[in-house]
Amino acid sequence: MGRLAGRGMGSRIGRTASRLNADPKKTVKAEGPRHASHRWYSLARWRRLRWSVLEEARFTCAWCKRIEANTSKLVADHKRAHRGDPELFWDRDNLQCLCKACHDSEKQRQERRGEGG
């Protein structure tokens, strides 16, 4: 019984309560058009395309040239940000294999600066 009332449970309840008080209009507005295209990543078509990109690259990051056996640490990255454009999203020539470290650091910095594509 003591574990249920411990600090872990209280912090979870506190976070949940704060989400309930959030303004739903702001939440929907923030997701906007990105939300619709984000669902494409859960499609079987995307999983097949991603896998073909990783295989073709021989599981090697295009930037740092690291070979990664754990495919969960690899990303099929859009060279030019698709911004919800289905043609850019599904364009095989717009994809490259990156390790998560390269994708989540330098690639994201470039996109925030408006570079890349």
Flag whether 94 is in a domain: yes
Flag whether 37 is in a domain: no
pLDDT tens figures, 56-112 = 999 999 999 999 999 999 999 999 989 899 999 999 999 999 999 999 998 888 888
pLDDT tens figures, 1-10 = 455 555 555 4
CA distances from 74 to 23, 30, 52, 96 (A): 36, 28, 12, 10
Flag whether 11 is in a domain: yes
Q: Where are the beta strands (DSSP E) in the chain?
A: 74-78, 95-99
Flag whether 80 is in a domain: yes
How far apart CA 17 and CA 6 sit, in angstroms, is 17
Residue 35 has pLDDT above 70, yes or no: no
55/88 same-domain check: yes
70/99 same-domain check: yes
What domain range includes position 27? 1-32
Its pTM surpasses 0.85 = no
Q: Which residue has the higher pLDDT, 27 or 50?
A: 50
Flag whether 60 is in a domain: yes
Looking at residue 80, its amino acid is R
User: Residue 88: its pLDDT value, please?
Assistant: 95
Nearest by Cα to 105 from 70, 68, 61, 69: 61
